[in-house]
């Protein structure tokens, strides 16, 4: 059960259940924890993929190393003087850390000045792959250039969502009628949402109609087959038809959210990315509870003409791309702010690699290594993490080196500190062990008590939160949960109003533990089963239906 739903039913704040006002657990530790966790379920992560490999060195210029930078890029450099000079992002930083933002990125500057932008410098991973296809796969799978890290077949977003919401099997449910993930603006399904299971918890929206809505991409056209062969081929057909059926089911709820939603501004720029973000804002306003959105824009493979022949840096190919990105994100957060949702949405850019430090002979740059990432939102700490890459420390082929952050540190931070992923979820996502960054403001960092899909005893990776079987139950229900150490637990049964009906203190051992609740005398209806680790105070609450 989701915490917000528990709050509504159990009445942490006054709420009516079956016509009766409720205020249960109001003075308990459970109430304090759940009240603090109330907003976590409403949080959203928006990822913006910059396809092609963004030139980070012309996006944020290392001011203290400007002479070295200009020597490496005599044609495509951003001027330090005149009307096209870079925007000094933050004059309060130490001189070595000062950066100049590309002059077209006024939107980023405005967000930074509000504390709504974080810059993460020199991001990469071990053995950076400079192939567009493989590099993209690594970022989306959560891998790297090592032998083991280059063979991951699923996507990190899919693994994270499956671990956070294990009961959602790719179809709408009363508790979650919306897909956990939505990819928008790209006709090709992203590896990032792919899981190893047969069900997929995301949908792909592509093809904007005149009203601004993105239509569902249908996997298979025509009517479903009536006679599916009993073979491996038949199994694949069933899977494909199942995907299409789930898309059809989700489409109703997505359409309703879009129709119920609105935008607070009418001044979105006429860009593809801006339209994607405009749709995301409207869906969120309309009540869509999707957790992760993936947007994208292409064109960053700037081997040539980053600067036009006349040398006007604000008119070049790269300048156009950065203007689209900057203006689109700024409009998105202006819209969210007007909708009262700016503190509910954090966004982040990523690209498969950076570009070479030295320009090529075509007024462009070639495939590179390190690049910055940008994180946006009202809930951020603001500022710059890391310092400028040392331009006097290049490889023999003019590549940046001296990685300061692994990209998985950024995603780990966003999953746990923003979305509330537990350590168990990070393990399932293959992000365990990556140090988090102080990106999210301390006011908004999710406390451990509010982590989603955390076993009550910080269970091992193969464990799950509390499970009830059968549910609905007639006479007896089995309560199962995992522990990694010995101790004691309290298993209790509560009414919807929070009244304690029964409690049993039990000894627990490492591994899977079981307790059987007798509900034969309980009237038919709904109840709460609560399991508390008496050593740590961690608790899990699950809804139970009793039928006779």
Q: Quick check: bond before 470 cis, omega within 30?
A: yes
Last residue of a domain, one of 405, 422, 446: 446
> How does residue 3 score in pLDDT terms, banded at 50, 70 and 90?
very low
If you average pLDDT over every residue of the chain, what do you get? 84
Confidence check: pLDDT of 454 > 90: no
Does 343 share its domain with 458? Answer: no
CB atoms within 10 A of CB 547: 10
* pLDDT confidence of residue 1: 33
Does 64 share its domain with 15? Answer: no
User: Which residue would you say has higher pLDDT here, 525 or 62?
Assistant: 62
**Domain-located, residue 511:** yes
* pLDDT confidence of residue 36: 56
**Domain-located, residue 237:** no
> How does residue 30 score in pLDDT terms, banded at 50, 70 and 90?
very low
Range 24-58 burial, b when 16+ CB lie within 10 A, else e = bbbeeebbebbeebbbbbebbbbbbbbbbbbbbbb
CB atoms within 10 A of CB 185: 23
Q: What percent of the chain has pLDDT over 70?
A: 84
The CATH number that applies at residue 334 is 3.40.720
> How does residue 247 score in pLDDT terms, banded at 50, 70 and 90?
low
* pLDDT confidence of residue 198: 57
Residue 532 Cα distances to 283, 462, 482, 535, angstroms? 37, 20, 12, 9
- The per-residue pLDDT for range 497-531, each reduced to its tens digit, is 667 889 999 999 888 888 889 888 889 888 888 88
CB 428 within 8 A of CB 399: no
pLDDT mean over 407-424: 95
The phi, psi pair for 90, rounded to 5°, reads -150, 105
Dmax (CA) for the chain in angstroms is 85
**Domain-located, residue 236:** no
Does 78 share its domain with 30? Answer: no
CA pair distance 252, 531, nearest whole angstrom: 37
User: Which residue would you say has higher pLDDT here, 296 or 243?
Assistant: 296
Confidence check: pLDDT of 242 > 90: no
Confidence check: pLDDT of 458 > 70: no
User: Which residue would you say has higher pLDDT here, 447 or 394?
Assistant: 394
CA pair distance 69, 157, nearest whole angstrom: 36
* pLDDT confidence of residue 202: 80
- The per-residue pLDDT for range 194-205, each reduced to its tens digit, is 887 656 678 888
**Domain-located, residue 492:** yes
CA pair distance 288, 42, nearest whole angstrom: 9
**Which of 34-48, 258-272, 285-299, 434-448 has the least mean pLDDT?**
34-48
Q: Which residues, other chains included, contact 398 with Cβ-Cβ below 8 Å and sequence gap of 6+?
A: 72, 356, 357, 358
CA pair distance 389, 277, nearest whole angstrom: 31
CB 353 within 8 A of CB 130: yes
Residue 419 Cα distances to 23, 266, 340, 445, angstroms? 27, 29, 19, 9
**Domain-located, residue 224:** no
User: Which residue would you say has higher pLDDT here, 349 or 251?
Assistant: 349
Does 310 share its domain with 433? Answer: yes
CA pair distance 317, 306, nearest whole angstrom: 5
Burial class (CB in 10 A: 0-12, 13-18, 19+), 390: middle
Do the bridges between strand 214-216 and strand 405-406 make them parallel or antiparallel, or are there none, so unpaired?
Answer: unpaired
CA angle at residue 343 from 340 to 344, to 5 degrees? 90
- Supply the pTM of this predicted model: 0.78
Does 335 share its domain with 477? Answer: no
pLDDT mean over 52-75: 97
Last residue of a domain, one of 446, 477, 493: 446
Does 322 share its domain with 358? Answer: yes
Burial class (CB in 10 A: 0-12, 13-18, 19+), 286: middle
The CATH number that applies at residue 18 is 2.60.40.10
Does 333 share its domain with 205? Answer: yes
**Domain-located, residue 252:** no
Does 292 share its domain with 343? Answer: yes
> How does residue 280 score in pLDDT terms, banded at 50, 70 and 90?
very high
Q: What is the DSSP string of 351-389?
A: -S--B-SS--TTSS--B-S-EEEEEE-TTB--EEES---
Which residue range forms the structural domain that includes residue 191? 54-217+269-446
Does 377 share its domain with 509? Answer: no
User: Which residue would you say has higher pLDDT here, 481 or 369?
Assistant: 369
pLDDT mean over 379-386: 97
* pLDDT confidence of residue 481: 85
Q: Where are the alpha helices (DSSP H) in 37-155?
A: 56-59, 66-72, 106-113, 132-141
* pLDDT confidence of residue 217: 60
Does 166 share its domain with 309? Answer: yes
CA pair distance 348, 238, nearest whole angstrom: 36
Does 316 share its domain with 458? Answer: no
**Domain-located, residue 247:** no
**Domain-located, residue 296:** yes
Does 442 share its domain with 464? Answer: no
Q: What percent of the chain has pLDDT over 90?
A: 56
Give the number of domains in the chain: 2
Last residue of a domain, one of 395, 422, 446: 446
């Amino acid at each position: 059960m989701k915490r917000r739903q528990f709050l509504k039913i159990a009445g942490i704040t006054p709420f009516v259940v079956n016509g009766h006002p409720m205020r249960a657990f109001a003075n308990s530790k459970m109430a304090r924890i759940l009240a603090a966790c109330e907003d976590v379920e409403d949080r959203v992560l928006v990822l913006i993929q910059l396809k092609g490999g963004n030139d980070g060195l012309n996006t944020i210029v290392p001011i203290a190393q400007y002479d070295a930078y200009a020597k490496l890029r005599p044609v495509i450099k951003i001027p330090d003087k005149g009307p096209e000079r870079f925007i000094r992002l933050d004059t309060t930083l130490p001189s070595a850390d000062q950066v100049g933002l590309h002059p077209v990125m006024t939107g980023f500057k405005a967000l930074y000045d509000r504390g709504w932008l974080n810059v993460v410098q020199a991001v990469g991973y071990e053995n950076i792959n400079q192939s567009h296809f493989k590099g993209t796969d690594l970022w989306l799978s959560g891998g790297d250039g090592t032998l083991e890290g280059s063979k991951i077949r699923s996507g990190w977003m899919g693994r994270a969502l499956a671990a956070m919401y294990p009961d959602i099997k790719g179809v709408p449910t009363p508790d979650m009628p919306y897909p956990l993930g939505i990819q928008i603006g790209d006709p090709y399904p992203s590896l990032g949402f792919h899981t190893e299971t047969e069900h997929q918890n995301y949908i792909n929206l592509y093809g904007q109609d005149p009203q601004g809505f993105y239509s569902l991409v249908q996997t298979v056209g025509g009517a479903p087959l009536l006679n599916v062969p009993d073979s491996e081929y038949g199994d694949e057909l069933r899977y494909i038809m199942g995907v299409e059926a789930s898309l059809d089911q989700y489409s109703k709820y997505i359409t309703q959210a879009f129709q119920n939603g609105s935008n607070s501004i009418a001044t979105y720029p006429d860009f593809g990315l801006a339209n994607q973000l405009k749709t995301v804002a409207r869906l969120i306003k309309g009540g869509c509870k999707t957790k992760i959105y993936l947007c994208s824009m292409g064109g960053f493979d700037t081997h040539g003409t980053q600067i036009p022949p006349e040398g006007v840096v604000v008119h070049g190919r790269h300048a156009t791309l950065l203007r689209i990105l900057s203006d689109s994100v700024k409009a998105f957060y202006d819209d969210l702010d007007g909708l009262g949702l700016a503190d509910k949405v954090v966004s982040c850019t990523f690209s498969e690699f950076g570009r070479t430090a030295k320009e090529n002979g075509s007024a462009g740059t070639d495939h590179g290594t390190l690049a910055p990432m940008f994180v946006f939102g009202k809930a951020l700490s603001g500022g710059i993490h890391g310092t400028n890459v040392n331009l006097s420390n290049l490889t023999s082929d003019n590549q940046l080196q001296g990685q300061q952050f692994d990209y998985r540190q950024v995603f780990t931070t966003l999953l746990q500190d923003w979305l509330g992923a537990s350590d168990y979820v990070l393990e399932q996502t293959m992000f365990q062990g990556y140090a988090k960054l102080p990106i999210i403001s301390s006011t908004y960092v999710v406390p451990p008590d509010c982590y989603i899909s955390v076993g009550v005893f910080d269970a091992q990776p193969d464990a799950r939160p509390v499970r009830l079987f059968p549910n609905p139950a007639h006479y007896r229900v089995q309560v199962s949960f995992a522990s990694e150490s010995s101790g004691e637990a309290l298993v209790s049964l509560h009414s919807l109003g929070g009244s304690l009906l029964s409690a049993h203190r039990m000894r627990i051992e490492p591994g899977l533990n079981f307790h059987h609740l007798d509900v034969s005398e309980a009237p038919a209806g709904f109840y709460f089963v609560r399991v508390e680790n008496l050593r740590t105070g961690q608790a899990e609450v699950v809804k139970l239906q009793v039928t006779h």
